Amino acid sequence: MFQKCFAGLLFLGCCVPVGLNASSEVAWQVTPKFKIDYPALQEVSGISRSKRFDNVFWVHNDSGDEARLFAINSQGDVIYPEFLPFHGQQPRSGRSPWPGHRIELAAHYDWEDIASDEDWIYIADTGNNGNARRDLGIYKIPLFNPRVIEKTRAFSYIPITYPGQQFFPAATWHYDSEALFIDAGQLYLITKHRVAGRIGTFEPGGNLYRLAGAESDRPNQLVQVDDLATLFMVTGAALSPDGGNLAVLGYRNLWVFPRPSTGDAWLSQPHQTLDLVPFGMGQVEAITWLDDQRLWVVNEAGAVFEVSLPGAVTPDAAQAP
C-alpha cells in the first residue's frame, strides 16, 4: 500500500535545509508514511495521540459526518472492539465494517480539531467558514479504551463566543478556528482568517485565544492572548508531550514555537517555519506529536507524513514577530 500510494513521493524522505535563514545548517526531515485506508475516514480533519493508551491515535472527519470518533494505530489500522460483529480494514464474513465510536449527546456540525490529555478528549466544533455561527463550542468526552468501548457520551458541551464580535457575520471574518490544543488543562484556539464576504479567499493572520470558562448553560467568552500576522490558513495545532513546543499547521506551512518563559503568548516567540509546498502534501488538516522531536501531519485524504524537527527550536531573528 505504501508503494502504491507514495511511489512518486519517496524522494521526499530525506533531510532538506529549510525553515530558518539562508545560512542555517539545520535540516528538517519529512517522510511519507502511509495512507489511512479506511472508507469511513474520507475527510480527516483532526488527530490526537492518546496519552493513556499506547499506540492509539484519535481521528475524526470534517463537517457532514456523524458524531463519531475513530482510533488508529501507528500503521494506520483502525482499532475497535473485536468482540463485536464488525470488521476493520479487512472484510470478514458475516460482519459489517466498523462504523466508529459513536459519541452520544453530541452533534457534528463542523468538527475541526481534537485534543486529549490523560482523562479527557476535547473536540472543537468551531468550523465557521461564513463567520455567522452562534452555536460554536467544544465537546468534553471522557477518555475511553477503544478496544473495549463501543460508544460513549459527551459529558458537556462548552459554548464559546469571541470577544468583540457583535454581528453574524462580522465586518471582519476572523472568527473561524480549526486549531485546538490543551496546556495544563486549559484549552486554546487559533483562528483562520478570510476576506470578509469571500469564503474562498484567505488573508494572513491568526489570533490565539484561551478558554477561560467551562460553563455548559451559557456562552463562555474566549480571551485573546496573542496574535501573529504571518500565520496563514491555520488548520491545526498540537503541544509537544513535554510541553516545550507548540506546532501550528497551515495549508502551506508548519510553524514551531517554543514555550514562553512566562504567560501564554506563544505566537510572540521566535520560531521555526517549514514550507510544506515542496512536499506535495495536499490539503493538510491535522497534526499530532509522536514524541518531542517528531510529528505526524495528515491531509484530508488520510495521507500521513512524519516530520522530524531539525533539533532544539532556536530563535530565528528573521521570523521573530
Rounded Cα distance between 215 and 118, Å, is 21
The residues spanned by each domain of the chain are 2-6+26-308
For residue 121 the three cell numbers come to: 478528549
Which grid coordinates are listed for 300?
Answer: 484530508
* Each residue's pLDDT expressed in tens, for the chain with a length of 321 residues: 443 344 334 334 444 444 433 334 368 999 999 999 999 999 999 999 999 999 999 999 999 899 999 999 999 999 999 999 999 999 999 999 999 999 999 999 999 999 999 999 999 999 999 999 999 999 999 999 999 999 999 999 999 999 989 999 999 999 999 999 999 999 999 999 999 999 999 999 999 999 999 999 999 999 999 999 999 999 999 999 999 999 999 999 999 999 999 999 999 999 999 999 999 999 999 999 999 999 999 999 999 999 999 874 444 433 433
| Residue pair 250/297 in contact by the 8 Å Cβ criterion | no
Stated pTM of the model? 0.90
CATH code, residues 2-6+26-308: 2.120.10
Q: Residue 88 has what pLDDT?
A: 96
133's grid cell: 455561527
Give the model's pLDDT for residue 26.
62
